[in-house]
């Protein structure tokens, strides 16, 4: 009987990509006791508080970004975390760096650790890509915007990190310096970044 009672719960997960928040599961008719039984039996695992995933699925490619996409959907992955996502840095982020509007509440997650940067509306909406990672929607800044942002926040991420990212990005066959300078103007750092671009191009 116990196994039979969990079947609809398992199917609820499978029909929604294998990941559900507790509220979603309840709306789909999954009883709390079945949810806890799946967890206790090892059929689902907690990605974060109130977010569960079927353990039968392949391992996540990036559990931290998946959690951010689920728990903080309005956030935009930025700076070093965005560079790492686009593979234009050797830095290994020990936190997920996200951009949020000014005067918004800072999200609190048990995991992963977050570092929040406040962006104005024009700098927050420029250069945003909507991607899907492990079936979960995620917002991340485009490579050129990420490089520009690193120069804008160079005193926080390090000038060396920003210059290295610029060098790596410019080596891409499809890199367009004009695109970078457009984002630099939006960020108000075009005069800062221009000499670096001229020296590297």
The whole-angstrom separation of Cα 98 and Cα 153 is 13
- Which pLDDT value is given to residue 1? 38
- Which pLDDT value is given to residue 16? 85
Q: Are strands 114-119 and 44-48 parallel, antiparallel or unpaired?
A: unpaired
36-50 pLDDT, tens digit each:
899 999 999 888 788
For residue 6, pLDDT beyond 60: no
Task: Decide if domain 2-54 falls under CATH 1.10.155.
Answer: no
Residue 150 pLDDT class (50, 70, 90 cuts)? very high
For residue 181, pLDDT beyond 50: yes
The pair of three-digit structure tokens given for residue 138, joined into one six-digit string? 């995620």
- Which pLDDT value is given to residue 103? 87
Residue 154 pLDDT class (50, 70, 90 cuts)? very high
Q: Can you give the C-alpha Rg of the chain in angstroms?
A: 20
Nearest to 98 by CA among 133, 73, 61, 63: 73
The pair of three-digit structure tokens given for residue 86, joined into one six-digit string? 């686009």
- Which pLDDT value is given to residue 2? 41
For residue 200, pLDDT beyond 50: yes
**Quick check: 117 and 98 in contact, CB under 8 A?**
yes
48-93 pLDDT, tens digit each:
788 888 999 888 888 899 999 988 999 999 999 999 999 999 998 8
User: Across all residues in the chain, what is the average pLDDT?
Assistant: 90
Q: Where are the domains of the chain?
A: 2-54, 63-200
183-199 pLDDT, tens digit each:
999 999 999 999 999 98
pTM: predicted TM-score of the whole model, two decimal places: 0.83
Residues 6+ apart with CB under 8 A from 30: 8, 9, 12, 20
**What average pLDDT does this structure show over 24-29?**
89
- Which pLDDT value is given to residue 5? 43
**What average pLDDT does this structure show over 13-26?**
87
**What average pLDDT does this structure show over 138-147?**
97
**What average pLDDT does this structure show over 2-17?**
73
**What average pLDDT does this structure show over 24-36?**
89
């Amino acid at each position: 009987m116990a196994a039979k009672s969990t079947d609809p719960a398992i199917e609820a997960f499978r029909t929604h990509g294998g990941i559900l928040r507790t509220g979603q599961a309840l709306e789909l008719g999954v009883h709390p006791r079945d949810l806890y039984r799946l967890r206790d039996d090892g059929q689902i695992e907690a990605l974060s508080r109130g977010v569960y995933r079927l353990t039968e699925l392949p391992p996540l490619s990036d559990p931290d970004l998946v959690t951010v996409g689920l728990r903080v959907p309005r956030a935009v992955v930025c700076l070093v975390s965005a560079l790492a996502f686009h593979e234009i840095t050797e830095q290994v982020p020990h936190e997920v760096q996200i951009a949020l509007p000014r005067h918004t509440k800072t999200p609190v997650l048990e995991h992963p650790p977050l570092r929040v940067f406040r962006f104005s509306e024009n700098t927050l909406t420029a250069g945003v890509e909507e991607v899907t990672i492990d079936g979960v929607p995620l917002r991340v800044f485009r490579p050129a915007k990420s490089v520009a942002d690193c120069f804008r926040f160079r005193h926080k991420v390090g000038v060396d990190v920003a210059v290295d990212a610029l060098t790596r990005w410019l080596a891409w066959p499809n890199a367009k310096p004009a695109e970078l300078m457009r984002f630099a103007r939006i960020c108000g750092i075009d005069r800062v970044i221009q000499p670096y671009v001229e020296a590297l191009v």
